Amino acid sequence: MAKSPIPAGTRDPRLDMFRGIALMMIFINHVPGQIYEQFTSRNFGHSDAAEAFVFMAGLAATLAYGPRIAQGIRWTSIRKVWGRAWTLYLVHVFTAFWAIAIMSGAALWFGGEELLTKNAFKPLLTEPLAFLIGIPALTHQLGYVNILPMYAVLLLGAPWLIRLGQYSPRLLLAFTIGLWALTGQFRLNLPNFPFEGGWFFNPFAWQILFSIGILTGLALRRGERLVPVTPWLIWPAAIWLVACAFWVNFEWAMATLGHVTWQLREWGTPFYLAGFDKTFVSLPRLSHLLALAYILSLPGVIPAFAASRYAAPFRLLGRHGLPVFAAGTILAMLGQAIKHVHPGGFWQDTALIFGGLALQLLLAFAREKLAPKETPAPRASAPAPEHAAVATPKPRLAAR
């Protein structure tokens, strides 16, 4: 089959659709205790929407910034990437302080004091000055409000990762696997304060998902696949996904296979190869995400559905990922507070989840309608002189 490179400015509907679905699942998972969290992807395997989110972030960054970075690492090629990282930092601080305000309001007016003892809120009461230092310094990250700092750090290094992948995909693959292994072996991480330990979403480990996303984006830009379509890969990937679904849903499988992984660790196998640690992206989690991404990337039904009108709401959410994620984070914290103060039942859960999703969809729709539209360049009434510079409209980036 002939190559069909993707031109700059082209959006892949599959990326928008799956990013929108991942944002929905992240929101649902971030309101624990309601019935709908039983139906998200984490209930059918070892990875969840967070791994998918970071993988697609690397892919989207490559589609958006790769063409300029291909011209070389200079300020003009990294300015927008680092600007995006700064935006992520500001959004993180904004959502973190809204989370503090929501939980504080629940404690102050609705008897929800216990909320301030969970999810890393406790230092707000016991060490308020250290807490206020840690939030903007990113050394103290609240539960459910802690993925954007890792994403921002990855974007700071993205220009060099993308450029390395453009120079040699094999070198980038070797680098990302090597760093992931070293991180797990020596437990490398960024520091916390005032808590001890490191970041829950460890950038040194999670870069492997981001970098594999970069490699996927580079292949997509060339009109190729990173991993070929072959039965020798399709069947093992599909079998592994089915096995993981059984593993996490049946007690006998949990006990039997859990004992196997425990025994492997007793024999000296590193925990990041035979465990389920999320901070260090353990091998079972990584392999599940890669198998899922491979199966969902196969030609046929998925690409056709992604481009159809039925997937339009998912694509809309995915196109406006950051504001939707920020709104979903704040709404999820509000949902947590409501569930704690008034546990409710089916109808309250339904209102919280579908009401929150509807508000996120409304936000994405408003941004779509109110965003400034590009105007085509005016047609010249006469041929331009050969020496004249002809202005062309700037292509739209492939990811926001």
Facing residues of 191 across strands? Answer: 198
Cβ-based neighbour number of residue 302 at 10 Å: 16
Asked if the model's pLDDT at residue 311 lies above 60, the reply is yes
Per-residue pLDDT at 399: 40
Confidence of residue 295 (pLDDT cuts 50, 70, 90): very high
Q: Of 33-37, 124-128, 220-224, which range is least confident? A: 220-224
Q: Where do the domains of the chain lie?
A: 17-366
Average pLDDT along the chain: 91
Asked if the model's pLDDT at residue 256 lies above 90, the reply is no
Q: Which residue has the higher pLDDT, 395 or 168?
A: 168
Q: Of 60-74, 106-120, 246-260, 296-310, which range is least confident? A: 246-260
Distance linking the first and last C-alpha atoms of the chain:
31
Per-residue pLDDT at 130: 97
Mean pLDDT of 336-353: 96
User: What element of type H or E holds 4?
Assistant: none
**In the chain, what percentage of residues exceed pLDDT 90?**
85
Q: Can you give the pTM of this predicted structure?
A: 0.90
Per-residue pLDDT at 245: 95
CA distances (Å), origin 146, targets 109, 142, 369, 389: 26, 6, 30, 47
- Tell me the backbone φ, ψ of residue 191, rounded to 5 degrees: -80, 155
